[in-house]
Amino acid sequence: MGLETSCDETAVAIVEAPPGDGPLGTILANVIYSQLSEHRRFGGVVPEIAARAHLERIDGLIEEALRASGLGLGDLDGIAATGGPGLIGGVMVGVMTAKALAFAHDKPFLAINHLEGHALSVRLTERVDFPYLLLLASGGHCQLLTVHGPGDFTCLGTTIDDAVGECFDKTAKLLGLGFPGGPAIERLAQSGDAQRFALPRPMRRKPGCDFSFSGLKTAVRQTVEKLDARDKQAIADLCASFQRTVGDVLADRCSNALAMAPLPTLVVAGGVAANLYLRQRLEAVAAKYGARLMAPPQKLCTDNGAMIAWAGVEHLRLGRSDSLDFKPRPRWPLDPTPAGLRV
Ligand code: KG4
Ligand code: ZN
């Protein structure tokens, strides 16, 4: 069972592992309560409201997941929870709940790095073997990594300022499209002219795999200031131009990564990986290097419990579990070497 409570989704899932150590699990239950409506009027996630909502919902969701799977707590092989990084109040709710259940039912407890949940999630549904190259693109992170195995990552590059999902969210906010911004921008971009606005593409053609999005964010703000808010076509054109620009940047950075670490599979994961236009762009880059692009199904790209349960499976199969003394970690880099610590 996996519990996810690091941001604004309270999520619980139960997955069944395949025999051996390969990919392709079975999702027996996957329930989620999105707190969006509780945060909307504040224009972003309020940590205190999030923590309280996780506390109110988590027990009911666990019962619902057990009911859906037809299992009892005694049937589980382990209980995993996001142990960080994330909003600490929420992470504490998930960790304390998982520890209590693990203790009461004498099951292993696993503290999962939320980023590792995203990083390994593709293996839950797709035939992907280690090692692979990973673009992790979410609301809080933007990194390129080599995934050697569970708990074993090399960071090739990271954002030096904003995360890519954050850039989608800020752009959407400027355009009055609400939160989260990614899905709204993708939808409007479909009827927009991607060539209309020329926006900067930070880091493009520079060596290495680092990202930067703050210059793009500023350029979007300056463009929006000159727009007539009633001009719906102009807004759609800006969404399309913005999305294309992000696509150019991600394609350029992934191209460098594939040159640095030529692996047969490029995986994109994290909330931004739900974007079908960006997936197409990355597919084209991968193909240029003789690699294939793989991604989790769209609904498993954004935060969910199944990715935490699956990461739990991957660790449990290696004989790993965590002590009930585990302390939630607001920061937790996937690659603890100096290159990874820049995150
Ligand atoms: O992985 P996630 O659910 O939460 C974090 O761990 O951050 O990612 C959420 C982010 C938000 O910034 C959201 O705007 C973005 O993913 N996102 C998208 C799309 N769907 C969600 N960005 C671009 N296009 C989408 N379709
Ligand atoms: Zn996430």
Alpha-carbon separation of residue 266 from 120, 165, 202, 233, 333 (angstroms) = 13, 19, 22, 35, 20
> Which of 141, 168, 170, 280 to mutate to test ligand 1, by most ligand atoms within 8 A of the CB atom?
168
DSSP symbol at 39: H
Instruction: Of 207, 197, 287, 288, give the one whose Cα is nearest residue 244.
Output: 197
**CA 286–ligand 2 middle distance (angstroms):** 23
In order along its 343 residues, the chain shows pLDDT tens digits of 999 999 999 999 999 999 888 999 999 999 999 988 888 888 788 999 999 999 999 999 999 999 999 999 999 999 999 999 999 999 999 999 999 999 999 999 999 999 999 999 999 999 999 999 999 999 999 999 999 999 999 999 999 999 999 999 999 999 999 888 999 999 999 999 999 999 999 888 889 999 999 999 999 999 999 998 889 999 999 999 999 999 999 999 999 999 999 999 999 999 999 999 999 999 999 999 999 999 999 999 999 999 999 999 999 999 999 999 999 999 999 998 866 655 4
Give bridge partners of residue 79 from the DSSP assignment: 109
pLDDT on residue 179: 82
pLDDT on residue 63: 98
Question: Does 192 contact ligand 1 (Cβ within 6 A)?
Answer: no
DSSP labels, 176-204: T--SSHHHHHHHHHTTS-TTSS----TTT
Instruction: Of 300, 298, 297, 266, give the one whose Cα is nearest residue 283.
Output: 266
Token pair, residue 79, equals 């209980």
pTM (2 d.p.): 0.95
Give bridge partners of residue 332 from the DSSP assignment: none
Please tell me the distance from the alpha carbon of residue 340 to that of residue 232, in angstroms, as a whole number: 42
Helix (H) or strand (E) holding 113: strand 109-113
Question: Does 182 contact ligand 1 (Cβ within 6 A)?
Answer: yes
